[in-house]
A = this chain, B = another copy of it.
Amino acid sequence: MSASPFPASLPFGTLVACLRLARAEQVGPRQWHRLIALYKTPEAALEALSNGRNGPSGRSGKTLVPAPEAAILREIEATLAMGGQFLTLLDAGYPAPLRHVPDAPIVLSALGDTTCLHKAGIGIVGARNASAAGLRLAESLSTELVEAGVVVVSGLARGIDTAAHRGALHRQGLTIAAIAGGLDRPYPPENAALQKRIAEQGAVITEAPLGTAPMGRHFPRRNRLIAGLALGCVVVEAAPHSGTLITARMASEYGRELFAVPGSPLDPRCRGSNNLIRNGAVLTESAADILPHIDSLRAGMPPVWQDTLPLSAPRPNPAPRAPSPPDA
């Protein structure tokens, strides 16, 4: 791996300062970069703010108020207590593919083995109310991808997302769930067990602090995590104007490859994916349509990414089950 300009782990005080800034209402990724450019460290930015300086011109004009230290300490304690960790833009462990996205989140909370965030990943996204055929496809695509050493990234939602995570878990593959709420708020609730398994076998990440109930406005942000983490996204079923298409558009804006599974024009859930193909997405029937692109996608990334995006070691297929003995 290339030498990283970022430390392997942040001093505790720096993490606290990061979080106090990141959790301030007025600080988005843009404001964060302005503050760091101006004050060099989050501690210095915080110090300046507490001395009454409002940082670089906040467009809102509102006073920039850092999150209270006590609340941040509680968040850190509770996150660590549940086995979680933080990855800030200042960490070497921050996912490489996401770092250079224009609106990369300042801080991620994560469960599981975060090294998989650095491996070559493909997003699988699609309709929550997917067809049975769509679910089967998402699941088998995912299985084929993890068998080839690719990490499957999705959003833990009902339908295609769930099928994608399951398909990866079948083969002990690596899968990442990007979620909209806090790590302690799996959504939908029936996927709590699935999130737990993903955390054991891959990783769960979110931008939201612990305790955040996922709300509508959080989902586009979650979608951007999927688009930003993956080298490309496969759209399995997507109606026009669906959230899935937002993820696809983001992936495209981030320069990632789009893959789409075709479907009958009579099924409205396929209109969005068919339209993506019409507009240049790679027509995808199986992982064989995706895998040949992985190398060139990695090669097209900034050099630091190429080193940090190995394929995950493919797992050997489990031995085929012995046939049941005939009744004696």
A residues with CB within 8 A of B: 133, 136-137, 261-266, 270-271, 274, 277-278, 283-286, 289
Contact = CB atoms under 8 A, between A and B. Distances in A.
A282 B286 CA distance: 21
B271 A278 contact: no
23 contacts: A133-B264, A133-B266, A136-B266, A137-B265, A261-B265, A262-B264, A262-B265, A262-B270, A262-B274, A262-B277, A262-B283, A263-B263, A263-B264, A264-B264, A265-B284, A265-B285, A265-B286, A274-B283, A274-B285, A277-B277, A277-B283, A278-B283, A278-B289
Contacts of A284: 265
A9 B55 CA distance: 90
Given A263-B262, A264-B133, A271 B285 contact: yes
Nearest to A278: B283
Contacts of A133: 264, 266
Contacts of A264: 133, 137, 262-264
A283 to B, nearest CB: 5
Interface centre among A264, A270, A274, A283 (most CB of B within 10 A): A264
Contacts of A137: 264-266
A-B interface, 9 closest residue pairs, ranked by CB to CB distance from nearest? A262-B262, A265-B285, A278-B283, A133-B266, A133-B264, A262-B274, A277-B283, A263-B264, A274-B285
